[in-house]
Protein backbone atom coordinates (compact mmCIF):
# COMPACT_ATOMS: atom_id res chain seq x y z
CA UNK A 1 0.00 0.00 0.00
CA UNK A 2 1.19 3.43 -0.96
CA UNK A 3 1.90 5.74 1.95
CA UNK A 4 1.53 9.31 0.80
CA UNK A 5 3.50 11.83 2.80
CA UNK A 6 2.13 15.27 3.48
CA UNK A 7 3.92 18.31 2.10
CA UNK A 8 6.11 18.89 5.17
CA UNK A 9 7.15 15.24 5.45
CA UNK A 10 7.84 15.17 1.75
CA UNK A 11 9.99 18.29 1.90
CA UNK A 12 11.96 16.69 4.71
CA UNK A 13 12.50 13.50 2.70
CA UNK A 14 13.78 15.46 -0.29
CA UNK A 15 16.73 17.13 1.44
CA UNK A 16 19.99 16.23 -0.25
CA UNK A 17 22.54 14.52 2.00
CA UNK A 18 24.41 17.05 4.12
CA UNK A 19 27.68 18.35 2.64
CA UNK A 20 29.99 20.27 4.95
CA UNK A 21 29.92 24.01 4.47
CA UNK A 22 27.27 23.94 1.77
CA UNK A 23 24.79 26.80 1.24
CA UNK A 24 21.78 25.24 3.01
CA UNK A 25 19.21 26.21 0.41
CA UNK A 26 21.06 24.26 -2.30
CA UNK A 27 20.35 21.06 -0.38
CA UNK A 28 16.81 22.12 0.39
CA UNK A 29 15.67 23.05 -3.13
CA UNK A 30 13.88 20.47 -5.26
CA UNK A 31 11.40 20.57 -8.14
CA UNK A 32 7.90 19.55 -7.03
CA UNK A 33 4.84 19.13 -9.21
CA UNK A 34 2.19 19.61 -6.53
CA UNK A 35 1.49 23.17 -5.49
CA UNK A 36 -0.85 24.34 -2.72
CA UNK A 37 -3.90 26.44 -3.55
CA UNK A 38 -2.29 29.58 -2.17
CA UNK A 39 -1.28 32.75 -3.95
CA UNK A 40 2.26 34.15 -3.96
CA UNK A 41 2.26 37.76 -2.76
CA UNK A 42 3.50 40.42 -5.20
CA UNK A 43 6.23 41.33 -2.68
CA UNK A 44 7.66 37.80 -2.66
CA UNK A 45 7.37 37.53 -6.42
CA UNK A 46 9.22 40.81 -6.85
CA UNK A 47 11.92 39.59 -4.47
CA UNK A 48 12.64 36.57 -6.70
CA UNK A 49 13.49 38.79 -9.65
CA UNK A 50 15.43 41.27 -7.53
CA UNK A 51 17.65 38.34 -6.62
CA UNK A 52 17.78 36.57 -10.01
CA UNK A 53 19.27 39.65 -11.66
CA UNK A 54 22.42 39.39 -9.50
CA UNK A 55 23.51 36.36 -11.49
CA UNK A 56 26.66 36.93 -13.54
CA UNK A 57 26.46 37.32 -17.32
CA UNK A 58 29.08 37.71 -19.99
CA UNK A 59 29.90 41.43 -20.47
CA UNK A 60 27.20 42.02 -17.83
CA UNK A 61 24.72 41.76 -20.70
CA UNK A 62 21.89 40.63 -18.39
CA UNK A 63 20.22 39.11 -21.40
CA UNK A 64 17.47 37.51 -19.33
CA UNK A 65 13.85 38.54 -19.72
CA UNK A 66 11.00 37.07 -17.70
CA UNK A 67 7.34 36.99 -18.69
CA UNK A 68 5.41 36.62 -15.44
CA UNK A 69 1.89 35.28 -15.25
CA UNK A 70 -0.17 35.17 -12.08
CA UNK A 71 -3.19 32.88 -12.18
CA UNK A 72 -6.19 34.60 -13.70
CA UNK A 73 -4.10 36.82 -15.98
CA UNK A 74 -3.85 36.67 -19.76
CA UNK A 75 -0.09 36.14 -19.40
CA UNK A 76 -0.64 33.04 -17.26
CA UNK A 77 -3.17 31.62 -19.71
CA UNK A 78 -0.86 32.16 -22.67
CA UNK A 79 2.04 30.43 -20.95
CA UNK A 80 -0.17 27.57 -19.77
CA UNK A 81 -1.56 26.98 -23.25
CA UNK A 82 1.86 26.27 -24.77
CA UNK A 83 2.82 23.61 -22.20
CA UNK A 84 3.05 19.97 -23.21
CA UNK A 85 0.20 17.69 -22.14
CA UNK A 86 2.12 16.03 -19.32
CA UNK A 87 3.18 19.37 -17.86
CA UNK A 88 -0.35 20.79 -18.16
CA UNK A 89 -1.59 18.03 -15.87
CA UNK A 90 0.38 19.30 -12.90
CA UNK A 91 1.36 22.89 -13.73
CA UNK A 92 -2.33 23.86 -13.49
CA UNK A 93 -1.75 23.68 -9.72
CA UNK A 94 0.92 26.42 -9.77
CA UNK A 95 -0.31 29.95 -9.02
CA UNK A 96 2.53 31.55 -11.01
CA UNK A 97 4.07 30.63 -14.37
CA UNK A 98 7.19 32.40 -15.62
CA UNK A 99 8.55 32.12 -19.16
CA UNK A 100 12.24 32.99 -19.41
CA UNK A 101 13.93 34.21 -22.56
CA UNK A 102 17.49 35.24 -23.47
CA UNK A 103 18.71 37.88 -25.91
CA UNK A 104 21.11 36.03 -28.21
CA UNK A 105 23.35 38.95 -29.26
CA UNK A 106 25.45 41.35 -27.23
CA UNK A 107 23.75 44.76 -27.19
CA UNK A 108 26.96 46.76 -27.47
CA UNK A 109 28.84 44.84 -30.16
CA UNK A 110 25.98 43.09 -31.96
CA UNK A 111 27.97 39.85 -32.03
CA UNK A 112 26.45 36.50 -31.09
CA UNK A 113 26.45 35.79 -27.37
CA UNK A 114 27.62 32.18 -27.23
CA UNK A 115 26.69 31.89 -23.56
CA UNK A 116 23.31 33.63 -23.64
CA UNK A 117 21.45 30.45 -22.78
CA UNK A 118 24.03 29.37 -20.20
CA UNK A 119 23.77 32.68 -18.37
CA UNK A 120 19.98 32.54 -18.55
CA UNK A 121 20.19 29.19 -16.77
CA UNK A 122 22.24 30.85 -14.03
CA UNK A 123 19.71 33.63 -13.46
CA UNK A 124 16.86 31.10 -13.41
CA UNK A 125 18.78 28.98 -10.92
CA UNK A 126 19.17 32.01 -8.64
CA UNK A 127 15.43 32.59 -8.91
CA UNK A 128 14.67 29.00 -7.93
CA UNK A 129 17.15 29.02 -5.05
CA UNK A 130 15.69 32.24 -3.74
CA UNK A 131 12.20 30.71 -4.02
CA UNK A 132 13.38 27.87 -1.78
CA UNK A 133 14.90 30.40 0.64
CA UNK A 134 11.51 32.13 0.91
CA UNK A 135 9.64 28.86 1.52
CA UNK A 136 8.34 28.66 -2.03
CA UNK A 137 8.86 25.90 -4.57
CA UNK A 138 9.82 26.18 -8.22
CA UNK A 139 9.95 23.69 -11.09
CA UNK A 140 11.54 24.50 -14.45
CA UNK A 141 10.14 22.85 -17.59
CA UNK A 142 11.53 22.44 -21.05
CA UNK A 143 8.48 20.48 -22.20
CA UNK A 144 6.48 23.09 -24.11
CA UNK A 145 6.07 24.44 -27.61
CA UNK A 146 8.75 27.13 -27.85
CA UNK A 147 7.55 28.38 -31.23
CA UNK A 148 3.98 28.72 -29.95
CA UNK A 149 5.39 30.67 -26.99
CA UNK A 150 7.31 32.94 -29.34
CA UNK A 151 4.15 33.58 -31.34
CA UNK A 152 1.92 34.09 -28.29
CA UNK A 153 4.17 36.84 -26.93
CA UNK A 154 5.64 38.16 -30.22
CA UNK A 155 9.14 37.39 -28.92
CA UNK A 156 11.69 38.84 -31.39
CA UNK A 157 13.81 36.46 -33.46
CA UNK A 158 17.02 37.47 -31.69
CA UNK A 159 15.77 36.12 -28.37
CA UNK A 160 16.00 32.42 -27.44
CA UNK A 161 13.08 30.88 -25.60
CA UNK A 162 14.19 29.21 -22.36
CA UNK A 163 11.99 27.38 -19.87
CA UNK A 164 8.71 27.80 -18.08
CA UNK A 165 9.06 27.99 -14.30
CA UNK A 166 6.08 26.90 -12.19
CA UNK A 167 6.11 28.73 -8.84
CA UNK A 168 4.09 28.51 -5.66
CA UNK A 169 3.91 26.88 -2.26
CA UNK A 170 4.49 23.15 -2.04
CA UNK A 171 1.26 21.15 -2.12
CA UNK A 172 0.22 17.69 -1.00
CA UNK A 173 1.40 14.93 -3.34
CA UNK A 174 -2.11 13.47 -3.40
CA UNK A 175 -3.38 16.61 -5.14
CA UNK A 176 -1.60 15.43 -8.30
CA UNK A 177 -4.30 12.77 -8.67
CA UNK A 178 -2.13 10.63 -10.94
CA UNK A 179 -0.28 7.61 -9.61
CA UNK A 180 2.75 8.00 -11.91
CA UNK A 181 3.15 11.63 -10.94
CA UNK A 182 2.77 10.86 -7.24
CA UNK A 183 5.53 8.29 -7.57
CA UNK A 184 7.79 10.86 -9.22
CA UNK A 185 6.97 13.33 -6.45
CA UNK A 186 8.00 10.82 -3.76
CA UNK A 187 11.15 9.52 -5.47
CA UNK A 188 14.44 10.36 -3.76
CA UNK A 189 16.68 12.98 -5.34
CA UNK A 190 19.74 11.33 -6.83
CA UNK A 191 22.94 12.59 -8.38
CA UNK A 192 25.89 11.02 -10.21
CA UNK A 193 29.09 10.42 -8.22
CA UNK A 194 31.87 12.94 -8.84
CA UNK A 195 33.93 10.33 -10.67
CA UNK A 196 31.42 10.50 -13.54
CA UNK A 197 31.40 14.27 -13.91
CA UNK A 198 34.76 15.68 -12.74
CA UNK A 199 37.62 14.87 -15.08
CA UNK A 200 41.34 15.39 -15.34
CA UNK A 201 41.27 14.28 -18.95
CA UNK A 202 38.16 13.43 -20.96
CA UNK A 203 36.47 10.41 -19.32
CA UNK A 204 39.25 10.10 -16.73
CA UNK A 205 38.11 10.99 -13.22
CA UNK A 206 40.02 13.70 -11.40
CA UNK A 207 41.27 12.46 -8.06
CA UNK A 208 40.07 15.30 -5.90
CA UNK B 1 45.12 59.87 -8.14
CA UNK B 2 43.95 56.31 -8.17
CA UNK B 3 43.29 54.82 -4.73
CA UNK B 4 43.68 51.08 -4.93
CA UNK B 5 41.74 49.15 -2.35
CA UNK B 6 43.12 46.01 -0.80
CA UNK B 7 41.30 42.72 -1.33
CA UNK B 8 39.16 42.97 1.81
CA UNK B 9 38.11 46.55 1.16
CA UNK B 10 37.38 45.67 -2.43
CA UNK B 11 35.23 42.70 -1.45
CA UNK B 12 33.29 44.97 0.86
CA UNK B 13 32.73 47.54 -1.88
CA UNK B 14 31.42 44.87 -4.25
CA UNK B 15 28.50 43.71 -2.12
CA UNK B 16 25.22 44.15 -3.94
CA UNK B 17 22.68 46.38 -2.19
CA UNK B 18 20.84 44.47 0.53
CA UNK B 19 17.56 42.85 -0.52
CA UNK B 20 15.27 41.60 2.21
CA UNK B 21 15.33 37.86 2.72
CA UNK B 22 17.97 37.22 0.07
CA UNK B 23 20.44 34.33 0.27
CA UNK B 24 23.47 36.30 1.56
CA UNK B 25 26.00 34.67 -0.74
CA UNK B 26 24.13 35.87 -3.84
CA UNK B 27 24.84 39.46 -2.82
CA UNK B 28 28.39 38.61 -1.83
CA UNK B 29 29.51 36.81 -5.01
CA UNK B 30 31.26 38.74 -7.75
CA UNK B 31 33.72 37.92 -10.54
CA UNK B 32 37.22 39.18 -9.78
CA UNK B 33 40.25 39.02 -12.02
CA UNK B 34 42.92 39.25 -9.35
CA UNK B 35 43.67 36.06 -7.43
CA UNK B 36 46.05 35.65 -4.49
CA UNK B 37 49.09 33.40 -4.78
CA UNK B 38 47.48 30.73 -2.61
CA UNK B 39 46.46 27.20 -3.51
CA UNK B 40 42.92 25.85 -3.11
CA UNK B 41 42.94 22.67 -1.03
CA UNK B 42 41.69 19.47 -2.67
CA UNK B 43 38.98 19.25 0.02
CA UNK B 44 37.54 22.66 -0.85
CA UNK B 45 37.79 21.96 -4.55
CA UNK B 46 35.94 18.69 -4.10
CA UNK B 47 33.26 20.48 -2.08
CA UNK B 48 32.51 22.81 -5.01
CA UNK B 49 31.62 19.91 -7.27
CA UNK B 50 29.72 18.07 -4.56
CA UNK B 51 27.51 21.13 -4.42
CA UNK B 52 27.34 21.96 -8.15
CA UNK B 53 25.84 18.57 -8.93
CA UNK B 54 22.70 19.36 -6.88
CA UNK B 55 21.58 21.79 -9.56
CA UNK B 56 18.41 20.73 -11.36
CA UNK B 57 18.57 19.38 -14.91
CA UNK B 58 15.92 18.32 -17.35
CA UNK B 59 15.09 14.60 -16.85
CA UNK B 60 17.83 14.71 -14.20
CA UNK B 61 20.29 14.22 -17.05
CA UNK B 62 23.15 15.89 -15.14
CA UNK B 63 24.77 16.59 -18.48
CA UNK B 64 27.53 18.66 -16.90
CA UNK B 65 31.15 17.56 -17.07
CA UNK B 66 34.03 19.49 -15.54
CA UNK B 67 37.68 19.31 -16.55
CA UNK B 68 39.64 20.49 -13.53
CA UNK B 69 43.16 21.84 -13.73
CA UNK B 70 45.27 22.76 -10.73
CA UNK B 71 48.27 24.96 -11.44
CA UNK B 72 51.26 22.89 -12.52
CA UNK B 73 49.16 20.15 -14.12
CA UNK B 74 48.85 19.32 -17.81
CA UNK B 75 45.09 19.94 -17.54
CA UNK B 76 45.68 23.48 -16.28
CA UNK B 77 48.15 24.21 -19.04
CA UNK B 78 45.83 22.94 -21.74
CA UNK B 79 42.94 25.06 -20.49
CA UNK B 80 45.16 28.13 -20.11
CA UNK B 81 46.50 27.79 -23.65
CA UNK B 82 43.05 28.10 -25.26
CA UNK B 83 42.12 31.33 -23.44
CA UNK B 84 41.88 34.59 -25.36
CA UNK B 85 44.74 37.06 -24.95
CA UNK B 86 42.85 39.40 -22.63
CA UNK B 87 41.82 36.55 -20.35
CA UNK B 88 45.33 35.09 -20.32
CA UNK B 89 46.60 38.35 -18.82
CA UNK B 90 44.68 37.89 -15.60
CA UNK B 91 43.69 34.21 -15.48
CA UNK B 92 47.38 33.33 -15.02
CA UNK B 93 46.84 34.47 -11.42
CA UNK B 94 44.18 31.82 -10.73
CA UNK B 95 45.44 28.59 -9.11
CA UNK B 96 42.56 26.54 -10.59
CA UNK B 97 40.99 26.57 -14.05
CA UNK B 98 37.85 24.54 -14.77
CA UNK B 99 36.45 23.90 -18.24
CA UNK B 100 32.75 23.00 -18.20
CA UNK B 101 31.04 21.01 -20.94
CA UNK B 102 27.47 19.78 -21.51
CA UNK B 103 26.22 16.61 -23.16
CA UNK B 104 23.80 17.80 -25.83
CA UNK B 105 21.56 14.72 -26.07
CA UNK B 106 19.48 12.92 -23.47
CA UNK B 107 21.17 9.64 -22.57
CA UNK B 108 17.98 7.63 -22.28
CA UNK B 109 16.05 8.81 -25.35
CA UNK B 110 18.89 10.03 -27.57
CA UNK B 111 16.90 13.14 -28.46
CA UNK B 112 18.44 16.62 -28.41
CA UNK B 113 18.47 18.27 -25.01
CA UNK B 114 17.28 21.77 -25.80
CA UNK B 115 18.26 23.01 -22.34
CA UNK B 116 21.65 21.30 -22.01
CA UNK B 117 23.50 24.59 -22.01
CA UNK B 118 20.96 26.32 -19.78
CA UNK B 119 21.25 23.58 -17.16
CA UNK B 120 25.04 23.67 -17.41
CA UNK B 121 24.84 27.36 -16.55
CA UNK B 122 22.82 26.48 -13.47
CA UNK B 123 25.37 23.93 -12.22
CA UNK B 124 28.22 26.38 -12.86
CA UNK B 125 26.32 29.06 -10.96
CA UNK B 126 25.97 26.72 -7.98
CA UNK B 127 29.69 26.10 -8.14
CA UNK B 128 30.47 29.82 -8.13
CA UNK B 129 28.01 30.55 -5.31
CA UNK B 130 29.50 27.76 -3.23
CA UNK B 131 32.97 29.16 -3.94
CA UNK B 132 31.82 32.50 -2.50
CA UNK B 133 30.33 30.68 0.50
CA UNK B 134 33.73 29.09 1.17
CA UNK B 135 35.60 32.39 0.91
CA UNK B 136 36.86 31.66 -2.59
CA UNK B 137 36.30 33.67 -5.75
CA UNK B 138 35.29 32.47 -9.21
CA UNK B 139 35.13 34.13 -12.60
CA UNK B 140 33.50 32.49 -15.63
CA UNK B 141 34.87 33.27 -19.10
CA UNK B 142 33.44 32.77 -22.54
CA UNK B 143 36.47 34.36 -24.19
CA UNK B 144 38.44 31.35 -25.37
CA UNK B 145 38.81 29.14 -28.42
CA UNK B 146 36.13 26.48 -27.94
CA UNK B 147 37.30 24.39 -30.88
CA UNK B 148 40.88 24.38 -29.60
CA UNK B 149 39.51 23.27 -26.21
CA UNK B 150 37.56 20.47 -27.88
CA UNK B 151 40.70 19.34 -29.67
CA UNK B 152 42.97 19.63 -26.63
CA UNK B 153 40.74 17.32 -24.59
CA UNK B 154 39.23 15.21 -27.40
CA UNK B 155 35.76 16.29 -26.31
CA UNK B 156 33.19 14.26 -28.29
CA UNK B 157 31.04 16.02 -30.88
CA UNK B 158 27.84 15.50 -28.88
CA UNK B 159 29.14 17.66 -26.02
CA UNK B 160 28.89 21.48 -26.08
CA UNK B 161 31.85 23.44 -24.73
CA UNK B 162 30.77 25.88 -22.03
CA UNK B 163 32.98 28.29 -20.11
CA UNK B 164 36.30 28.35 -18.31
CA UNK B 165 35.99 29.14 -14.61
CA UNK B 166 38.98 30.73 -12.89
CA UNK B 167 39.01 29.83 -9.19
CA UNK B 168 41.06 30.85 -6.20
CA UNK B 169 41.29 33.32 -3.32
CA UNK B 170 40.70 36.97 -4.07
CA UNK B 171 43.92 38.89 -4.70
CA UNK B 172 44.97 42.51 -4.52
CA UNK B 173 43.75 44.58 -7.48
CA UNK B 174 47.25 45.98 -7.95
CA UNK B 175 48.50 42.50 -8.85
CA UNK B 176 46.70 42.83 -12.17
CA UNK B 177 49.37 45.29 -13.26
CA UNK B 178 47.18 46.78 -15.97
CA UNK B 179 45.34 50.05 -15.44
CA UNK B 180 42.29 49.07 -17.52
CA UNK B 181 41.90 45.81 -15.65
CA UNK B 182 42.34 47.50 -12.28
CA UNK B 183 39.55 49.92 -13.23
CA UNK B 184 37.28 47.01 -14.12
CA UNK B 185 38.14 45.34 -10.82
CA UNK B 186 37.15 48.44 -8.87
CA UNK B 187 33.98 49.27 -10.82
CA UNK B 188 30.71 48.90 -8.92
CA UNK B 189 28.45 45.96 -9.74
CA UNK B 190 25.37 47.19 -11.57
CA UNK B 191 22.15 45.56 -12.71
CA UNK B 192 19.19 46.61 -14.84
CA UNK B 193 16.01 47.70 -13.04
CA UNK B 194 13.23 45.13 -12.96
CA UNK B 195 11.13 47.18 -15.37
CA UNK B 196 13.61 46.26 -18.12
CA UNK B 197 13.64 42.53 -17.51
CA UNK B 198 10.29 41.48 -15.98
CA UNK B 199 7.40 41.67 -18.41
CA UNK B 200 3.66 41.09 -18.48
CA UNK B 201 3.71 41.23 -22.27
CA UNK B 202 6.80 41.53 -24.46
CA UNK B 203 8.50 44.86 -23.68
CA UNK B 204 5.75 45.84 -21.23
CA UNK B 205 6.94 45.88 -17.61
CA UNK B 206 5.04 43.74 -15.12
CA UNK B 207 3.83 45.80 -12.21
CA UNK B 208 5.07 43.63 -9.42
Chain A residues within an 8 Å CB radius of B134:
21
Q: Which CATH fold would you assign to the domain A7-205?
A: NADH Oxidase (3.40.109)
Q: What is the pLDDT along chain A (208 residues), one digit of tens a residue?
A: 355 788 888 888 898 888 888 999 999 999 999 999 999 999 999 999 999 999 999 999 999 999 999 999 999 999 999 999 999 999 999 999 999 999 999 999 999 999 999 999 999 999 999 999 999 999 999 999 999 999 999 999 999 999 999 999 999 999 999 999 999 999 999 999 999 999 999 999 998 8
Q: Which pLDDT score, from 0 to 100, does residue B21 have? A: 87
Residue A19 and residue B117: Cβ atoms within 8 Å?
A: no
Q: Domain residues of chain A, as ranges?
A: 7-205
Q: What ipTM does this complex have?
A: 0.96
Residue A124 and residue B122: Cβ atoms within 8 Å?
A: yes
Contact (CB, 8 A) for A117 and B117 = yes
Chain A residues within an 8 Å CB radius of B152:
none
Chain B residues within an 8 Å CB radius of A126:
26, 125
Q: Which pLDDT score, from 0 to 100, does residue A1 have? A: 39
pTM: 0.96
Amino acid sequence: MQTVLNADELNESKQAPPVEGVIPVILKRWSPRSFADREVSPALLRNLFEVARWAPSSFNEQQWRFLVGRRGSATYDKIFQVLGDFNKKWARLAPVLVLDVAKSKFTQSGRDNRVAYYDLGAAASYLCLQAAALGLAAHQMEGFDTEAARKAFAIPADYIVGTVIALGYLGEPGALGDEQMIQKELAPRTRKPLTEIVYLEWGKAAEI
